[in-house]
Amino acid sequence: MARQQLLHLRLFLLSSPKPVLLNPLPSLTSSSSSRNASSNPISRNRVWTLTTPRRADSTVTSLAEEILSSSTNDLSPDLASVLESDSARSIVHPSINGFPFLELLSLLKRRPLLALQVFDWRRNLRDSTPLIAEEYASAIALAGRAQNLSLAVKLFNESKPTANKPILYNALMTAFMYNGEVNRCISLFHELKKETKYGPDTVSYNILLSLYGYHILVDQMESVLRDMDSSGIPRSVVTYKILMCGYLRSRRWKQMERIFGSFKEPDMSTRLLMLRGYAIAGKLEKMERMYELVKGEVHAQEMSLICAMIRAYSKVRCESSLRKIEELVKLIREEEYFPHLHIVLIMVYAKEGLIDEMERLIFDANKRNIVISSHRVIRTILSVYYKCGDVERLGSFINQAENAGWSLSKDLYRCKMILFSRLGRLTEMCCEVDKMDSYWPVRDRYTLKILYKGFSDAGRMWEMNMVIGLMFKYGFRIPQDAVVG
């Protein structure tokens, strides 16, 4: 459990592991700039691309429900018999509302393996219309979701003779991208450029741009953009958002702001992206102005932005930022609580020297199984105890750390030794050394120096000389003021 939390924290601190988890990555769906931008909020399912789901009709919705329950509930009919029904057969044909089968796949996308089984059924169905490119593209995307790239490639190969269109390349590029196959994604793009009947479209370029942007390869991203412009492929709203994400990841605030400024009327998702940029950049005034504009949306669904803003405030030390942080923390719902945020808050209170608040949060961290592992954080906490000199409170912090399995450092015990020595409680100071010996068998000079100083300040020459003897024994340099005699 503790390890998992640690991993979580580390991932959070560094970056999301894969583009699929990247928060501000816009959906790659819309390909034309004429599309109404505000009808395309950044979708939570960014992997699902390339098809534009319409409102599913009731036959499709109920069929999807039946299929989903067929694999979870023993009482329901199994998948094969659901697919034998008339309603299943009726949706494989195009209707005036579009292509109901595509809608079905889109409703099943959260269960990609199940959706692929349904696709297989449709593919093997006798006397039905041949599969169209969009159906193949959906299946390729599903295979990508299921992390089965060999299946994605197989479907791509299979589709090419009958349904040859950029959408298939785009689907496979997306599958590669989301599975971290950067080079395969790029080389597929170059294959697409070699196609004689058509070339890459806006979506293909968008995929490549977001790939480079995600991997903080700004020069490549910009060169792809130039290539896009010189090939006469129109940029879309999504293109601009992808560029903003790329600049955000590479911390190029000026360029990010420039692109933001080029929107006549930025939509909500663009504003949220810019807010994130201002928060990470620590541009508090601009951040606050933007926050005023998008408050409602942030409160409704963008908790990670609240965390980003808290982080931004936590970097400046002043009365008002502490107050603002406390207000923002109130907005965070329990289920959306980040361990990382907790650590940030501990640091805020520690830096302000507010020991009661800090201890309350540390206690809470322990309850939530949050691992405090960073030496920087531990040292900041210790500095509070060092200043206030309360060795009992430090002792109970160390006990918690030991019991919770937080990474222990010598600094904890050294700080306790110093506090004991300040109070003249030298026996207890020595006990700490024994404790350290059980964790770190090899003594170090710094610990001995604290012992030395404790005894020498108390005028206990005999013990002091013993410590000097130990220093000799280990070959450490003797403190300069030591009187050897």
Ligand X SMILES: *[C@@H]1O[C@H](CO)[C@@H](O)[C@H](O)[C@H]1NC(C)=O
| Rounded least distance, CB 195 to ligand X, Å | 13
- Spell out the residues 6+ positions from residue 277 whose beta carbon is closer than 8 angstroms to its own: 244, 247, 248, 253, 256, 257, 260
Burial class (CB in 10 A: 0-12, 13-18, 19+), 300: exposed
> Considering the rule CB under 6 A, would residue 179 count as an interface residue with ligand X?
no
Please provide residue 307's backbone torsions phi and psi, each rounded to the nearest 5 degrees: -60, -40
Q: Which is nearer to ligand X, 39 or 196 (CB)?
A: 39
Q: Which is nearer to ligand X, 140 or 362 (CB)?
A: 140
Q: Which is nearer to ligand X, 148 or 202 (CB)?
A: 148
Q: Locate tokens 């506090």: which residue?
A: 419
Q: Are 391 and 416 in contact (CB under 8 A)?
A: yes
| Rounded least distance, CB 429 to ligand X, Å | 60
| Rounded least distance, CB 188 to ligand X, Å | 11
Q: Which is nearer to ligand X, 133 or 228 (CB)?
A: 133
| Rounded least distance, CB 228 to ligand X, Å | 24
Total Cβ atoms within 10 A of residue 285? 8
Q: What track of x and - describes contact with ligand X for positions 190 through 229 (by CB under 6 A)? A: ----------------------------------------
Q: Are 99 and 129 in contact (CB under 8 A)?
A: no
| Rounded least distance, CB 62 to ligand X, Å | 27
The residue type found at 156 is: F
Residue from the set 73, 150, 183, 196 that interacts with ligand X by CB under 6 A: 150
Residue from the set 92, 125, 153, 216 that interacts with ligand X by CB under 6 A: 153
- Spell out the residues 6+ positions from residue 281 whose beta carbon is closer than 8 angstroms to its own: 251, 253
Cα 391 to Cα 16, 420, 429, 433, 452: the distances in Å are 40, 7, 11, 15, 19
Cα separation, 476 vs 27, in Å, equals 61
Window contacting ligand X (CB under 6 A); options: 50-58, 149-157, 309-317, 416-424: 149-157
| Rounded least distance, CB 17 to ligand X, Å | 19
Q: Which helix (H) or strand (E) holds 364?
A: helix 355-367
| Rounded least distance, CB 239 to ligand X, Å | 18
Q: Which is nearer to ligand X, 190 or 375 (CB)?
A: 190
Window contacting ligand X (CB under 6 A); options: 150-158, 339-347, 389-397, 410-418: 150-158
The residue type found at 284 is: L
| Rounded least distance, CB 210 to ligand X, Å | 24
Q: Is 115 strand, coil or helix?
A: helix
| Rounded least distance, CB 170 to ligand X, Å | 17
Q: Which is nearer to ligand X, 154 or 317 (CB)?
A: 154
| Rounded least distance, CB 97 to ligand X, Å | 20
| Rounded least distance, CB 116 to ligand X, Å | 7
Q: Which is nearer to ligand X, 189 or 214 (CB)?
A: 189
Q: Are 5 and 339 in contact (CB under 8 A)?
A: yes
Q: Locate tokens 């290539």: which residue?
A: 227
Q: Which is nearer to ligand X, 112 or 246 (CB)?
A: 112
> Considering the rule CB under 6 A, would residue 148 count as an interface residue with ligand X?
yes
Q: Estimate to the nearest angstrom the gap between the alpha carbon of 39 and the chain centroid.
A: 26
Q: Which is nearer to ligand X, 20 or 151 (CB)?
A: 151
Q: Which is nearer to ligand X, 148 or 239 (CB)?
A: 148
Evaluate the CA torsion angle 339, 345, 347, 349 in order and state its sign.
Answer: negative
Please provide residue 98's backbone torsions phi and psi, each rounded to the nearest 5 degrees: 115, -140
Q: Which is nearer to ligand X, 36 or 73 (CB)?
A: 36
Q: Which is nearer to ligand X, 118 or 372 (CB)?
A: 118
Evaluate the CA torsion angle 141, 142, 148, 151 in order and state its sign.
Answer: negative
Residue from the set 89, 110, 154, 193 that interacts with ligand X by CB under 6 A: 154
> Considering the rule CB under 6 A, would residue 124 count as an interface residue with ligand X?
no
Total Cβ atoms within 10 A of residue 8? 15
Total Cβ atoms within 10 A of residue 108? 22
The residue type found at 128 is: S
Quick one: residue 282, left, alpha or beta (phi over 0 = left, psi -120 to 50 = alpha)? left
Residue from the set 45, 97, 128, 157 that interacts with ligand X by CB under 6 A: 157
| Rounded least distance, CB 117 to ligand X, Å | 9
Residues 6 to 45 in contact with ligand X, rule: CB under 6 A: 36, 38-39
Cα separation, 281 vs 257, in Å, equals 11
Residue from the set 125, 151, 329, 433 that interacts with ligand X by CB under 6 A: 151
Q: Which residues bind ligand X (CB under 6 A)?
A: 36, 38-39, 148, 150-151, 153-154, 157
